[in-house]
Amino acid sequence: MAYISSDWLQTLRPYKVEPATDIGPGRFETGTQSFEALAGFVAAVKYLATWGEGTSLRGQLTGAFEVMGKHEELLSRYFLQRLSQAEGLTLYGSQESSHTVRTPTFALRSDKHTPEQLARHSVSRTSVSGMVTFML
């Protein structure tokens, strides 16, 4: 997705397929639009909006992201509190739990185990193995 000022829109020469229009943003399409992806995107936005309150879609989404951010902050605070009690683990990055300061993603290093060992152990204990990523 991109925004191009109307002043610049017609000055750029896009790589495009022959039948694509030469007018407006459609000239940047390289083929048939992915209508199923657009439908999925709209459905995802509507779903996210259900987690917020408001009279407009924008208001609902803003509220939803605030609710999700606070929930992530609680999870981050719990994780960081438990991590502070663990021996042999180094946290890289901020130790702040606020969702306005960080994402709920943590980079760790163990003094006792390799990343591969940690990954295998974590995957064996959870059904959400795709959520655990270890970098060597």
φ, ψ for residue 104, nearest 5 deg: -80, 55
Distance between CA atoms of residues 108 and 134, nearest Å: 9
Confidence (pTM): 0.63
The DSSP output letter for 51 is T
φ, ψ for residue 3, nearest 5 deg: -115, 130
Write down the pLDDT at residue 118: 82
Write down the pLDDT at residue 1: 66
pLDDT of 131 strictly over 70: no
Mean pLDDT of 103-111: 86
Element holding 90 (H helix, E strand)? strand 89-92
Mean pLDDT of 93-111: 86
List, in order, residues 6 or more apart from 27 with CB less than 8 Å away.
14, 16, 20, 21
| Coil/strand/helix, residue 105 | coil
Radius of gyration of the chain (CA): 22
The answer to whether 73 touches 65, Cβ cutoff 8 Å, is no
For residue 119, give both structure tokens.
């990954």
Write down the pLDDT at residue 129: 47
